[in-house]
Amino acid sequence: MSASSSTQGPELSTVPSGTQEQDAQSVPVTLGASSLFLIALVRVFVGYLWFQQLFWKLPPTFGGLHIFVAREVGGSFIPAYGAIVQHVLLPNIALVGTFTFLVELLISISLMFGLFSRLGALLAMGMALQLYLGLSTTEWYWTYGMLVLLAVVLLPLPTGRRLGIDQWLAPRLQARVSRRHSRGARVLSWFV
C-alpha cells in the first residue's frame, strides 16, 4: 500500500513502495486539541471516581474497607493471595486502611487536578489491579478490569498537560533538565 501527494515531489516516485509503508508506520500520532481536551475530561472523571470512593472508608474505623478486605479472603482467584489478606492485611486493618485512604486521596488529587498525572495513573493501575486480584470473583469482574484499563489508557498520555497543573509544570521541569541535567527533574518530568 502506498500513498502519494502532489506536495511530496517527484523524488518519492523512485523510492520502493515497501519503504513508503515503513515510513508511514513510523510517523508518530499527534493528538489534536479537541482530543487532548476529551482525554483530560476522562482524567478528571477517573480522578473524581477515586475521590468519591474515599467516603465509605474514612479513618479512623475504615468500616467499609474492612468488609471488602474480608471479602478478598475467599474472593481471590489466587488462593495464596487470600491467605496473605487473612493473615497479614486483616490483622493490620488500621495500617492498611490508612495506606489505602492516602493512596486513593493522592490518586484523586493527581488525576482531578492534573498534577503528576502519570504518577496518579500508575498508582490507580496498581490499586485497581489489587482490587481485580482480590474481588474479581465476588462481583462482576469487568468492573475492576475496566478500572485497570482506564489507568492503562491514562498512563502513557500526558493528560495533565491539558486542563491540569502539569501544563504549567512540564516546561519548567524540562528547562531544569536542559540547564542543569538534573536527574530528579528528569524523573519527575516523566510523571507530568
Question: What are the structural domain ranges in the chain?
Answer: 32-159
* Grid cell locating 129: 489491579
Length of the chain as a residue count: 192
SS3 string of 30-75?
A: CCCHHHHHHHHHHHHHHHHHHHHHHHHCCCCCCHHHHHHHHHHHHH
Q: Which residue has the cell 487536578?
A: 113
Each residue's pLDDT tens digit in the chain (192 positions)? 333 333 343 444 444 555 666 666 778 878 888 888 999 999 999 999 999 999 999 888 888 899 989 998 888 888 899 999 999 999 999 999 999 999 999 999 999 999 999 999 999 999 999 999 988 888 877 888 899 999 999 999 889 989 999 999 999 998 888 887 788 888 888 899
* Grid cell locating 153: 489508557
What three-state secondary structure class fits 191?
A: coil
